[in-house]
Amino acid sequence: MRHFNRLTATSVWRTNPELLLALHSRFGEPLDAYVNGSQVWLRDDGPGGMTLEWRLHPVAGYIRPDGLSTHEVFSSVIYQLTSEEPGTLTPKGLWDGLECFAAYGDEIEPAVLGTAVTTALGIAADHVGLVDHRKIGDQWERSGGAVSIIEGLCLELESSVTTPEMPEIDEMPNLGTDPLDEGL
């Protein structure tokens, strides 16, 4: 039996302070945080209230900052970004970027997802398209977390071939009469 890869519509942002501040201001604290550094929000931001998973992915080789629990990392970074106190936590040193996709295996078109996430977060994604989550996840697992999930997503999204939309029939240029109509 041959298995086909299932492609998933996804949106990806590279990490920067503005992105993290928007996440905090619009979504609040993550719903969950993982020892691998991921921070997760599940929100009904999709069309018709579809649940979207927002996942802040860690840098390759992520190491949790000393003195912080898994669930304190995000809030500590936000505190540092919004206070005048100097700190050692840098967003790019912890997370490569944010990914958003339909939760629970629901399907959504990339363009529809792109519109929904821009509305929800207030920042357009750097990339929107289809990815093979299984392939990228397998690479990350095999490396023991030594490769970047965001890099894998971006490479796949940047290399995907897109086909321009076909114009509507009434938008097609008039190329003259069809020779077959002239009785050749």
Looking at residue 3, what is its pLDDT?
A: 42
The closest of 111, 116, 97, 6 to 57, measured between CA atoms, is: 97
Q: Which residues contact 44 (CB under 8 A, 6 or more apart)?
A: 50, 51, 52
Looking at residue 6, what is its pLDDT?
A: 84
Tokens (6 digits) for 48: 């018709």
Looking at residue 140, what is its pLDDT?
A: 87
Looking at residue 71, what is its pLDDT?
A: 95
Q: What is the pTM of this model?
A: 0.82
Looking at residue 159, what is its pLDDT?
A: 81
Rg, Å, the chain Cα set:
21
Q: Which residues of the chain have pLDDT under 50?
A: 1-4, 161-184
Looking at residue 4, what is its pLDDT?
A: 46
Looking at residue 68, what is its pLDDT?
A: 95
Looking at residue 165, what is its pLDDT?
A: 40
| Structural contact between residues 129 and 160, judged by C-beta atoms closer than 8 angstroms | yes
Looking at residue 173, what is its pLDDT?
A: 43
Looking at residue 158, what is its pLDDT?
A: 87
Looking at residue 181, what is its pLDDT?
A: 46
Looking at residue 160, what is its pLDDT?
A: 67
Tokens (6 digits) for 153: 């997503």
What residue ranges do the domains of the chain occupy? 8-159
